[in-house]
Amino acid sequence: MKLLTTAPDATVLIEDRSPEWRGWFFTAIGVLCFSLTFPMTRLSLRAFDPILVALVRGAGAGIAAFVYLALSRSRIPNRRILLRLGSAAIGMVVLFPILLSMALKSVPATHASVLGSILPLATAVFGVVRGRESVSRRFWFFAILGTALIALFSGYRSGFHSIEPADLLLIAAFIACAYGYAEGAVLAREIGGWLVICWALVTVLPFELVALLLYYSRVGVRIAEVPAESWEGLVYVTAISQFIGFFFYYKGLALGGIAKMSQLQLLLPFVAILSAHWILGEEVDGSVIVGSLVMTGIVAAGRKKRGGVGACRELRSKN
């Protein structure tokens, strides 16, 4: 009986000593997956309608998630968790892809990438509110500083022009996505990161399928005329951006904390810009390289440990 009562404590001690780099590693892989979303979406938009891209993205990932849950015989979460999963899915599975696709129809992927600087701060704010995380003034200083610098960088590249409708769509998309990120990371502490994205996708799957069928019957697509690159873009945003990338991202956020790990998103605009140059041939100047180095320093400065692992203990046994 003594062995049975002391074993859990030993497990917790081992888990609490888990290296911090694991949180940074998994979050970085997730951010890398997401960083190709903008150029790959632009590729798909060369042949597909923006709304169609968004609906295929959600429905395709939802079907994959449903198959996984069925094969693994995962238990259905209770009603309270399902409602929270649904609210997270509305942000990151429904609103974000639709708003993003509509915006990228009229602006380059590089432009969307630099406006993505709002994601880290928005995710951190939602993380503090929903995850009840405590953060130091140091954290907020570097989070606000990094976001402000990226905003200035964005303005510099756009010539400090007035806000366009596409910019408003992008800002709304990133806020919706940030809420989904934070809410999903909180839920990951209860059911595990991989199950969060799977069940979130499944909660809105009926809507996505019905909307896809209705919209496709209206706009239609000449499949034979779609180039291979557009298919590649559509497959990527469906399989990687909307499904696989979330496994790594949620695991990292839950291991290291939503507010803290979300600061790696500060690097996303610059990785996305480089990938847009590589995939789409969009122009990249020296300011991108300088900005990347500056932002890397800010992320490193803001990653100072904030205290104990606290709420992250539960998740480590689930993931």
DSSP, residue by residue, 160-227? SPPPPHHHHHHHHHHHHHHHHHHHHHHHHHHH-HHHHHHHHHHHTHHHHHHHHHHHHHHH---GGG--
Provide the residue-wise pLDDT of the chain in tens; the chain has 319 residues. Answer: 444 433 344 333 334 445 677 888 888 899 899 989 999 999 999 989 999 999 999 999 999 999 999 998 888 888 899 999 999 999 999 999 999 999 999 888 887 887 777 777 777 778 777 766 666 777 778 778 877 876 777 677 667 666 678 888 988 998 899 888 888 878 877 887 788 889 999 999 999 999 999 998 888 777 878 899 999 999 999 999 999 998 888 788 777 776 677 677 777 878 888 899 899 888 877 776 677 677 767 766 765 544 433 334 444 444 4
Q: What is the pLDDT of residue 19?
A: 61
Q: What is the DSSP letter of 282?
A: -
Question: Exposed (0-12), middle (13-18) or buried (19+): which is 3, by Cβ within 10 Å?
Answer: exposed
Question: Exposed (0-12), middle (13-18) or buried (19+): which is 127, by Cβ within 10 Å?
Answer: buried
Contact between 269 and 149 (Cβ < 8 Å): no
Q: What is the pLDDT of residue 157?
A: 63
Buried b / exposed e along 28-42 (16+ C-beta atoms within 10 A): bbbbbbbbbbbbbbb
Count H helices and E strands in the chain, helices first. Answer: 18, 0
Where residue 307 falls (left for φ over 0; alpha for ψ -120 to 50; beta otherwise) is: left
CA-based diameter of the chain, in Å?
71
Q: What is the pLDDT of residue 96?
A: 94
3-state helix, strand, coil in the chain (%, to 5): 80, 0, 20
Q: What is the pLDDT of residue 143?
A: 75
Beta-sheet strands, E only, within the chain: none
Q: What is the pLDDT of residue 98?
A: 95
Q: What is the pLDDT of residue 126?
A: 82
Query: What Cα–Cα distance (Å) separates residue 279 from each residue in 29, 115, 192?
Result: 19, 19, 34
Q: What is the pLDDT of residue 269?
A: 79
- The two tokens of residue 240 are 């990687």
